[in-house]
């Protein structure tokens, strides 16, 4: 497939939007119109193309809801939520980064309205980790309250909840399962509205979530399954080294060491300073480089979830996100996706697979299938089928 944009990040985001439309998150036609109205590599143009359509979708959804057409309203609200999320995908490349918070809040308002239009099938739920409230949502095939197998989703570093409809929620609902999604530390609302950074020890996040879920009558405690996408491919295995109540899990794809994607962006001399713990030397070397306002904004945006006041602090924090010394404790049956042309964590899916001691599978997705790139953006139907087949095979009879 020829690139949609020469800008690599724009091309990836456009493919993701198209792939999600194929799973019912909006419609392909409107995604293509937004792509056509975007100037390649221009962050402001991207924002304008997606933001305007997101507002149009919300207005149409409001009208449908007022008229009692909840099915139509739900479809439009989900699309609006996704388009608002797309609008701030490149806000770090814009001079006015203050647009992020209102765009995020519009995204979340549309998402909440989508949930509210479900006739009671889908619910907001209260989750918490060590006293930190985490917005959560329980998606159910119906409102009967029957106990069901439940897919618990760990999101990636910057993905929106609306994106999880295509990658995890709909595949679970199609199987007759529940799905649970939430914002954890460093993700979405906890970062944008409360400045709470990532945690490397995801077991401190996931275990309290499981504790809450197994106490619910609409969750079958014997039939919990897990899914981790993107950087969730690190967090979920990390948690599984300590949390053993999942019947099976999938990581899309596998991540052994998050810091490698950071470390490869700096020269060897800086990496030596980092490993030597030379905070002042590292920061001085970074500051002595040529001024680049766009690059500085991008770094600030990507660094914020890790916390820290200086570049050294951010890079040092990232070094903690590793499975070193933990893989032999992961006994949950695990499926690992391994797409061609992985953008960020190349080779780590195979590395994780080979290090695991228990039941494991690795599945390659190829360019010929249209299933290459990070998290297979253009093949979510195929990936959903493969992952739920694996999970179903490990559920109790």
Please name the residue that has the structure tokens 């792509």: 35
Q: By the 8 A CB rule, do 178 and 139 touch?
A: yes
State the average pLDDT over residues 163-179.
98
- What gap in Å lies between CA 79 and CA 57, rounded to an integer? 7
Q: Are strands 132-139 and 148-154 parallel, antiparallel or unpaired?
A: unpaired
Q: pTM of the entire structure? A: 0.97
> What was the pLDDT predicted at 300?
87
Question: Considering Cα of 181, then 185, then 187, then 188, what sign does the dihedral take?
Answer: positive
What whole-number distance in Å separates Cα of residue 352 and Cα of residue 356? 6
Q: Give the model's confidence band at 95: pLDDT under 50 very low, under 70 low, under 90 confident, else very high.
A: confident
pLDDT, position 330: 98
Token pair for 134: 């985490």
Both structure tokens of 220 = 């079958």
For residue 162, give the nearest of 80, 233, 234 by alpha carbon.
80
pLDDT digits (tens, 9 = 90+) for 229-269: 999 999 999 999 999 999 999 999 999 999 999 999 999 99
Query: Cβ(365)–Cβ(372) under 8 Å?
Result: yes
- The candidate with the shortest Cα–Cα distance to 351, out of 333, 341, 338, is 338
* Beta pairing, strands 360-365 & 334-339: parallel
> Following CA atoms 362, 366, 369, 374 in sequence, which dihedral angle do they give, to the nearest 10 degrees?
90
Distance CA 322, CA 86 (A): 29
- By DSSP bridging, strand 132-139 and strand 178-182 are antiparallel
Q: Where are the domains of the chain?
A: 1-117, 121-258+321-397, 259-318
The pLDDT assigned to 298 comes to 84
* Tokens 């996100």 -> residue: 321
Residue 31 in tokens: 């995604």
Comparing CA positions, the residue from 248, 275, 288 lying closest to residue 387 is 248
Whether 1-117 and 121-258+321-397 share one fold: the answer is no
Please, which residues bridge with residue 182 across strands?
136
Q: What's the confidence (pLDDT) of residue 397? A: 87
Q: May I ask the CATH architecture of the domain 121-258+321-397?
A: 3-Layer(aba) Sandwich (3.40)
Average pLDDT over residues 163-171: 98
- 3-state SS, 324-345, equals CCCHHHCCCCEEEEEECCCCCC
* Mean pLDDT of the region 149-174: 97
Nearest alpha-carbon partner for 246 in 149, 365, 326, 166:
149
Residues in the chain: 397
Give every CB contact of residue 224 below 8 A, 6+ residues apart in sequence.
149, 150, 152, 210, 213, 214, 245, 246, 247
Which of 269, 264, 248 lies closest to 348 in space, CA to CA? 264
Contact between 338 and 374 (Cβ < 8 Å)? no
Distance CA 390, CA 387 (A): 5
Element (H, E) at 349: helix 348-355
| Residue range 345-386, pLDDT digits in tens | 999 999 999 999 999 999 999 999 999 999 999 999 999 999
> Is 12's pLDDT higher than 90?
yes
**Tokens at 98, concatenated:** 């203050």
Reply yes or no on whether the pLDDT at 294 is more than 90: no
Q: Among 185, 177, 297, which Cα is nearest to 231's? A: 185
- CATH code of the domain made up of 1-117: 1.20.1440.110
């Amino acid at each position: 497939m020829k690139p949609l944009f020469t800008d690599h990040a724009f091309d990836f985001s456009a493919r993701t939007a198209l792939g999600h439309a194929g799973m019912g998150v909006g419609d392909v036609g409107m995604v293509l119109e937004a792509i056509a109205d975007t100037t390649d590599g221009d962050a402001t143009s991207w924002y304008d193309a997606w933001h305007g359509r997101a507002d149009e979708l919300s207005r149409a959804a409001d009208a449908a809801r007022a008229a009692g057409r909840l099915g139509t309203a739900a479809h439009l609200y989900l699309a609006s939520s996704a388009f608002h999320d797309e609008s701030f995908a490149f806000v770090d490349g814009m001079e006015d980064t203050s647009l992020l918070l209102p765009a995020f809040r519009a995204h979340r308002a549309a998402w909440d309205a989508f949930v509210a239009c479900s006739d009671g099938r889908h619910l907001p739920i209260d989750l918490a980790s060590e006293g930190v409230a985490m917005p959560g949502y329980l998606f159910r095939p119906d409102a009967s309250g029957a106990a069901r197998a439940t897919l618990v989703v760990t999101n990636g570093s910057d993905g929106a909840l609306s994106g999880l409809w295509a990658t995890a929620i709909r595949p679970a609902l199609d199987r007759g399962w529940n799905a649970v999604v939430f914002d954890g530390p460093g993700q979405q609302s906890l970062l944008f509205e409360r400045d709470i950074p990532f945690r490397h020890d995801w077991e401190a996040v996931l275990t309290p979530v499981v504790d809450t879920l197994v106490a619910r009558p609409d969750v079958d405690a014997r039939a919990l399954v897990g899914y981790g996408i993107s950087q969730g491919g690190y967090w979920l295995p990390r948690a599984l080294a300590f949390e053993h109540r999942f019947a099976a899990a999938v990581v899309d794809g596998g991540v052994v060491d998050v810091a490698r994607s950071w470390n490869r962006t700096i020269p060897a001399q800086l990496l030596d300073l980092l490993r030597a713990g030379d905070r002042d030397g590292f920061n001085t070397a970074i500051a002595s480089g040529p001024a680049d306002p766009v690059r500085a904004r991008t770094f600030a945006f990507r660094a914020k979830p890790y916390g820290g006041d200086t570049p050294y602090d951010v890079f040092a924090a990232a070094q903690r996100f590793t499975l070193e010394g933990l893989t032999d404790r992961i006994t949950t049956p695990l499926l690992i996706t391994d797409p061609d042309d992985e953008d960020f964590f190349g080779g780590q899916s195979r590395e994780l697979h080979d290090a695991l001691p228990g039941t494991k599978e690795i599945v390659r997705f190829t360019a010929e299938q249209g299933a290459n790139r990070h998290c297979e953006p253009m093949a979510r139907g195929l990936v959903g089928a493969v992952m739920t087949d694996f999970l179903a095979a490990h559920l109790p009879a």
